[in-house]
Amino acid sequence: MPEKNPETHVIDFRAAEQLLAARDPRGAVKLLDSVIGAHPENTAARLLRARAFFAAAQLRPAELEFELVLEREPDNAFAHFALARTFQRAGRPEQATRHFRLAAALDPKPEYLRAARFEDRDGQDRDGEARG
């Protein structure tokens, strides 16, 4: 098989995005493996592969990829949120809560804030009002 050039890797990355959008995460992973093999430092490709692993219910590989992204970009709110969803799906709620809260602190999107559930054990928010 001929060696791929950088333009081919860009095409593979874009095709992997399309495959993930079309609900073919395993196909996306296959394309991204070669991209990451040639460009292991490419955080965007790793984040896309992490999303594909998550969509394919391959939680441990997804977790490892999201963690690698966060080592490189600790302020990536989406990566924290996605890692939290991975932990949640794997039945690890304490770890999920930590990353939901980090995501919300980094980017106060309504979705991140809802997932973070900033409340105390009595079901009250930080202002002491009952949440309903």
**Angle CA 93–99–104, to nearest 5:** 120
Longest dimension (CA), the chain: 64
Chain mean pLDDT for the chain: 90
Q: Which of 62, 68, 52 is nearest to 84 (CA)?
A: 62
Residue pLDDT, tens place only, 69-105: 999 999 999 999 999 999 999 999 999 999 999 999 9
Residue pLDDT, tens place only, 21-30: 999 999 999 9
Q: Please give the pLDDT value at position 5.
A: 80
pTM of the model: 0.85
* CA gap 83, 39 in Å, rounded: 22
